[in-house]
Structure 1
Amino acid sequence: MTEPTGQHGHSQDDCSDYLERIVFFLDNELDEADCSEVQVHLDECGPCLEKYDLQRTVKQVVARSCKESAPDGLRERVRIQIREVQVRISEG
């Protein structure tokens, strides 16, 4: 039995391999040869490109959210909760 093929003849196994590597591609953790290979695949495979775009967008939203500071009131409530848990643990 042959593997079903996606757009431009890519097999599902082929695409799943690239989808795993997209995370490393987004984080610039691939060498030049692997980056080129992933980029060529993304240029040829619409479904993988859509998943790449989605992952990139999520990563950007998370990165932007991590730069924001919590309001002072929230920070103080968290500090109080941490102290209370530490006291319970030390008394326990």
Structure 2
Amino acid sequence: MTDCGCDKARAELEELLHDELCSEDAADVREHMAGCAECRNEFRVGMVLTEVVQRACRESAPDELRSVVLTRIREIQAVHTAPRAVVD
């Protein structure tokens, strides 16, 4: 294979992180990263960020906090959706 280069590797890192590349493109990017510390490091940063976001999405707020937030949302919605008097 021919090295795909940093431009192509960086352009496809996000798709590689999410397993969205065809096997040939994924292999090209992985081959490039094997010899390019800069792209490999960028990929590692992407992996860490992806893991942190995924973990944060699995976490839920404590029941008391959820209750407070939902109550406040309902209060705001009530103010913004209440019918307004028509002034002639």
TM-score for both structures, normalised by structure 1: 0.79
Uncovered stretches (5+) of structure 1, i.e. residues with no partner: 1-9
Mark the structure with the bigger radius of gyration: 2
The 5-angstrom pairing of residues 18-57 of structure 1 reads 18-57=9-48
Q: CA deviation at 1:41?
A: 0.8
The yes-or-no answer on 1:71 pairing with 2:76 is: no
The higher relative CO (CA closer than 8 Å, separation ≥ 6) is in 2
4+ runs of 1 displaced by more than 2 Å? none
- Bigger drift between 62-71 and 21-30 goes to 62-71
Uncovered stretches (5+) of structure 2, i.e. residues with no partner: none
TM-score for both structures, normalised by structure 2: 0.82
Q: In the aligned structure 1, how far is the partner of 2:59 from the partner of 2:74?
A: 24
Q: CA deviation at 1:58?
A: 1.0
2:72 maps to which residue? 81
Q: In the aligned structure 1, how far is the partner of 2:76 from the partner of 2:32?
A: 50
The yes-or-no answer on 1:17 pairing with 2:35 is: no
Q: CA deviation at 1:74?
A: 0.9
Q: CA deviation at 1:66?
A: 1.3
Task: Provide the identity percentage.
Answer: 31
Q: CA deviation at 1:18?
A: 1.4
